[in-house]
Structure 1
Amino acid sequence: MSSEGQVRLAPRWAVVAMVASTLLLVVAGAVLAPSSSGADRWIAVGLALAGLCGLVFVAHGFWPRTPRPLRPSADGTVTIKAPALQVAAALLAWLVMWVVSGLIVFVVVSRGMNAVESPGAAVAIIGATLASIPDTIRLLTGRLHRWRLSWGPGGVVYRGFRTSLDVPPGRLKHVGLQASRLFRWSGVPPRLRPREGGPRGYGVLLAPRGAEAVVLVPQILFREPAEQVAEELRAAAR
């Protein structure tokens, strides 16, 4: 945390590396698009667009957090949500992945595998798209959620992608913090490292009474620092 109270999710070098990776995708697509034609050009455009979406997601996700007042609604409920721009970037990148995969398949069927500039990357893109089919079905049927956390007199409610958690008042046993295992060498205390078999990532841990599973509210998808959210949840649970 800096002197201004900002909270960083990752070392600067890690953020720079992620930004450089997304920019590389943008540059590759921008360079290939003018020299290509037909489906190849649209594949290059898709890669550039996916890179831009990734850049937006990384910029929002890893921008230093600063504590800010959280104002409750009329009934005393506080709600925080994933930034709309970050969610839109993720959805657009998902859509682009499907379009690019379809175009790659079209090129392979019509001209053969030799017509693909990078067969390894093409296989990886198609594989990732196929792996996303179950979540795509959930999205189309309304069973995927925008990340949202609320707490107040009615208890705690969390919606996050596939996760849906409703904790009645007085049933929240534990609220904790967890730091990413990736950066444990940079001074993360052992008590904040993810436990074996538990959720991975950095954020707020919620443990309802009587539930075996512990839910992680990921910091990367909320503007509010995890420390502030955890303190607010503990205060509301008293």
Structure 2
Amino acid sequence: MLFDTHVHLNAHQYKEDVNEVIKRAKNEGISTMVVVGFDEETIKGALSLAEEHEFIYAAVGWHPVDAIDFNETHLTWLEELSNHPKVVALGEMGLDYHWDKSPREVQKEVFRQQIRLARKVQLPIIIHNREASQDIVTILQEEKAEEVGGIMHCFGGSLDIAKQCMAMNFYISFGGPVTFKNAKKPKEVAKEIPLDRLLIETDCPYLAPHPYRGKRNEPAYVKLVAEQIAELRGMTVEEIANITTENGKKLFGIY
């Protein structure tokens, strides 16, 4: 049984065939998924899918790229949604220094507001990090994020950054890039992470693993991530599947 901890089945790329994609995932042994919403439209989509399917859960948050659009009404809405029985985390949230839509100071403030909310409602958080590792670690430390912990989603940072995050009660999650032939750093980190801090994901429809790189990703492919990590660590796929599924259920409180 596999747990894909980060999917975007609420994305427009699945508009025509989301039910077939979900069926393929089940056929490949994916027992649990978390659909992540990051703005008004995708949050509504995540909730809809979670309400429709027993084995799908939702995370709700605000993406740093769109931080400029975030306001008090959205924060209040996220707090209300945190009581929804299928909402298991807040996010994705964080910092993205690749795109220029939202100024960095605005991103940081919106990130801090969401961490404070997570501590208030006692839900774990899902972190989006693009070219902002040290600032993210600093904010997580300053805002006492260790009280709720969460996931460093689609991790691509150094082992040192991973260790700083794990010290704050965070899990390290690997997606498709760990299967890329030239992905030296993710492979190195995936070999070293303690097993009780390891998670897997697809981040679909993005970052499809080898040999589907460049194509639309889907949850069924999370098995390829598990296979790569099993190979790196000299373990069986079943062992990695069981460990990461248990870790995911423990983090999100899914029993």
Classify the TM-score, shorter chain: under 0.3
TM-score scaled by length of structure 1: 0.26
TM-score (norm 2): 0.25
Structure number, greater radius of gyration: 1
